[in-house]
Amino acid sequence: MLKIKTLNNISASGLSRLPADRYEIVDELDSADAVLVRSADMHAVELPASVLAVGRAGAGTNNIPVAKLSKQGVVVFNAPGANANAVKELVLAGMLISARNLHDALGFVAGLQAEHMEETIESQKKRFVGNELAGRTLGVVGLGAIGVRVANAARALGMRVVGFDPHMTVDGAWALSSDVIKASGLNELFSSCDFISFHVPLIDATRGLFNAQALTVLKPGATLLNFSRDGIVDAEALKQGLNDGRIGRYVSDFPKGDLIRHPRVIALPHLGASTHEAEENCAVMVVDQVRDYLENGNISHSVNFPSTRMSRGARSRICIANLNKPNMIGQLSQVLGANGINISQMHNASKGENAYNLVDVDNEVGTEVLTQLRAIDGVLSVRVV
Mean pLDDT of the chain: 95
Between the two ends of the chain, the Cα-to-Cα distance in Å is: 13
CA distances, 253 to each of 51, 224, 273, 274, 338 (Å): 33, 12, 10, 11, 57
CA distances, 282 to each of 77, 123, 131, 301, 372 (Å): 11, 47, 35, 12, 38
Number of other CB atoms surrounding residue 50 within 10 Å:
12
346 φ, ψ (degrees, to nearest 5): -150, 145
Please tell me whether residues 72 and 220 are part of one structural domain. Answer: no
pTM of the model: 0.80
Please tell me whether residues 74 and 101 are part of one structural domain. Answer: no
pLDDT digits (tens, 9 = 90+) for 186-244: 999 999 999 999 999 888 999 999 999 999 999 999 999 999 999 999 999 999 999 99
Please tell me whether residues 77 and 45 are part of one structural domain. Answer: yes
- Amino acid of residue 271: L
Residue 169 vs residue 68, higher pLDDT: 68
pLDDT at 202: 86
**CATH classification at residue 78:** 3.40.50.720
Structural domain that includes position 232 = 89-267
Please tell me whether residues 93 and 78 are part of one structural domain. Answer: no
pLDDT at 293: 98
pLDDT digits (tens, 9 = 90+) for 224-239: 999 999 999 999 999 9
pLDDT digits (tens, 9 = 90+) for 109-168: 999 988 888 989 999 999 999 999 999 999 999 999 999 999 999 999 999 999 999 998
Q: Got the DSSP string for 67-87?
A: HHHHHTT-EEE--TTTTHHHH
**For residue 196, which of 269, 252, 236 has the smallest C-alpha distance?**
252
The DSSP symbol for 219 reads P
Question: Residue range 58-79: average pLDDT?
Answer: 94
Please tell me whether residues 218 and 103 are part of one structural domain. Answer: yes
Q: Give the residue from 267, 293, 327 where a domain finishes.
A: 267
For residue 20, pLDDT beyond 90: yes
Q: Rounded to whole angstroms, how far apart are CA atoms 246 and 106?
A: 25
Q: Rounded to whole angstroms, how far apart are CA atoms 149 and 142?
A: 11
Q: Give the residue from 213, 242, 267 where a domain finishes.
A: 267
Please tell me whether residues 13 and 67 are part of one structural domain. Answer: yes
Cα Rg for the chain, rounded, in angstroms? 25
pLDDT at 201: 87
- Report how many domains make up the chain: 3
Please tell me whether residues 289 and 344 are part of one structural domain. Answer: no
Percent of the chain with pLDDT over 90: 91
Please tell me whether residues 113 and 233 are part of one structural domain. Answer: yes
189 φ, ψ (degrees, to nearest 5): -70, -50
Q: Got the DSSP string for 159-173?
A: -EEEEE-TT--HHHH
**Cα four-point dihedral sign 337, 339, 340, 342:** negative
For residue 314, pLDDT beyond 90: no
Number of other CB atoms surrounding residue 371 within 10 Å:
11
What stretch of H or E contains 363?
none
Please tell me whether residues 174 and 235 are part of one structural domain. Answer: yes
Q: Give the residue from 249, 284, 304 where a domain finishes.
A: 304
Please tell me whether residues 157 and 68 are part of one structural domain. Answer: no
Please tell me whether residues 62 and 94 are part of one structural domain. Answer: no
Which residues 6+ apart lie within 8 Å of 271 measured at CB? 90, 253
**CATH classification at residue 359:** 3.30.70.260
pLDDT at 95: 98
Please tell me whether residues 118 and 25 are part of one structural domain. Answer: no
Q: Rounded to whole angstroms, how far apart are CA atoms 10 and 287?
A: 10
